[in-house]
Amino acid sequence: MTGRLKVPRVLVVNAALAGVVWLVWALVWGTEYFTVLAENWRVALTMVFGSLVGGGTSEGGGAIAFPVLTKVLVVPPDRARIFTFAIQSIGMSAASLSILLNRIPIERKVVLYGSASGVVGVALSATLLAPHVPLPVVRALFTMLLVALALALVVQLGQRGYRRNAKIPAWSQREKGLVLAAGFAGGIVSGVAGVGENCVMFLLLVLLFRVSEKVATPTTVVMMTIVSVAAFLTHVILLDDFTGPVVGYWTAAAPVVAVGAPLGAWICTKLAPFTIRAVLFVLIGAELISTVLLVPFTPFMVAASVATLTMFTVLCVALVRNERYAILSPELRHEGSPARV
């Protein structure tokens, strides 16, 4: 007797999530969608790659969308930032639902505390800081943060007896405070750069708390989703600037990211921790190259970037050198002790 073919749960979940978005778009836009897509197909194509990065890494889809939109498609930076929040609200929401419905391990305490402070940070940043901070400066300094993270990850790879934890080994007022502070700082960065919440929390989870990349990455995806939705609502309700061409960009790209972001989240679960790091190194390298080539650096920006890179590198390496959380979680003991990179 031949058994029935069993369809993987992740395939069913991801297809259902994409189907819901497509159905809503069909009901709202009808055949007009294809007209919008024809006008904005370059943005939709960009988000094929952006959604995979957004759902499967700690960088967020905006790390791809923002530089391509502003430098290649010549979209004004303020519009690109609003689009980043809008499209992440669809794509990363789908990725987060896929993560939760497929029971992919995340640090729920970090999501709760970090997202709460992140929402406050991004709302304040979007309304008070973003209108007054030049976006080239923001992109340059954000790139320096990513480069510092990459350097620290390399240092961590060389540590003897480096162990990965399945969760934060301790959870006291100290850890809560650190997560709240990182969440707020990430929200501030996200409000002006479009991304950042996930990168800042990934830095804390992996470098200090020694949480495995396979847990840290989906955790930061869920957090960035919540912060992106909060930022998007801030622009729609408080700032009232989700208008004009940005709506067309969003309309064209949303059905694409509804497929790509959950797919990226699933791909991440199939990668080894070292492979996840390798992907990050490639993305950070591309970010650095694009920033150097495309951002108009003034002498002040060069000095500020060097100072920022030095400061962030010292901070990241200090987190790596801290052995307080170098404890192998019980959930990872079956992988051997110590768990080497």
Is residue 335 predicted with pLDDT exceeding 60? no
**Which two structure tokens, joined as six digits, stand for 18?**
């994409």
Instruction: Please give the model's pTM, rounded to 2 decimal places.
Output: 0.87
Per the structure, the count of domains in the chain is 1
76 in a structural domain: yes
Looking at 58-62, 237-241, 277-281, which range is the least confident one? 58-62
Summarize pLDDT for 166-221 with one digit per residue, the tens: 899 889 999 999 999 999 999 998 998 888 888 899 889 998 999 988 899 999 99
Print the domain residue range for 182: 9-335
How many angstroms separate the CA atoms of 153 and 255, rounded?
35
**Which tens digit of pLDDT belongs to each residue from 125-157?**
999 998 888 877 877 878 888 888 888 888 877
- The percent of the chain in helix, strand and coil, each rounded to the nearest 5, is 80, 0, 20
Asked whether residue 1 carries a pLDDT value surpassing 60, the answer given is no
**Measured torsion, CA atoms of residues 158, 107, 18, 69, in degrees rounded to the nearest 10:** -50
d(CA 54, CA 90) in angstroms, rounded, equals 11
Q: Is 106 part of a structural domain of the chain?
A: yes
User: Does 3 reside within a domain?
Assistant: no
* pLDDT for res 198: 87
Average pLDDT, the chain: 85
Query: In this model, does residue 228 exceed pLDDT 90?
Result: yes
The answer to whether residue 1 sits within a structural domain is no
d(CA 335, CA 27): 49
Q: Is residue 340 part of a domain?
A: no
Q: What is the mean pLDDT of residues 23-46?
A: 93
Residue at 150 is within a domain: yes
52-70 mean pLDDT: 76
Task: For residue 154, give the nearest of 329, 284, 308 by alpha carbon.
Answer: 284
pLDDT band for position 7 (cuts 50, 70, 90)? low
Sequence-separated (6 or more) residues with CB below 8 Å from residue 271: 214, 279
Question: Residue 301 has which token pair?
Answer: 């920006």
